[in-house]
Amino acid sequence: MKRLRMLREKKQLTQSQLGKLTDISPSAIGMYEQGRREANHETLLKLANFFNVSTDYLLGRDNATESAKTPKDLAKFLENTEVMFDGEVHHLDEEDKQKLKNALEFVFWQAKEKNKRKKQ
């Protein structure tokens, strides 16, 4: 993966630290960075989600800048049926997505109220 090392170093992570955070062995990360081994689909998704980039970006197929530089639209995010949380990939059905949306709306409402109180 052409950009894995650059992304890892940008976050100031060692291969070992990245391995612990993504549940990927440090030696595998080293081999991916050197082009000595190809990552499977699940591993590509883990790394892309961790760095908030597309798999095409990781593979060097997309010259677009990292998507982390622009705010994320949560409504669009919730359209995804596959998300990563705590290093595990989860498949969400419509009921799960609605529960997640409700929880996020509640948290954002609380944050908005908290910010109003701080300004007074």
CA distance 1 to 53: 13
> How many residues are listed for the chain in this entry?
120
Answer yes or no: is pLDDT of 78 > 80: no
The answer to whether the predicted template modeling score (pTM) of the entire model surpasses 0.95 is no
Number of other CB atoms surrounding residue 47 within 10 Å: 24
pLDDT tens digits, 3-42: 899 999 988 999 999 999 999 999 999 999 998 999 999 9
CA distance 61 to 82: 22
| DSSP bridge pairs for 85 | 88
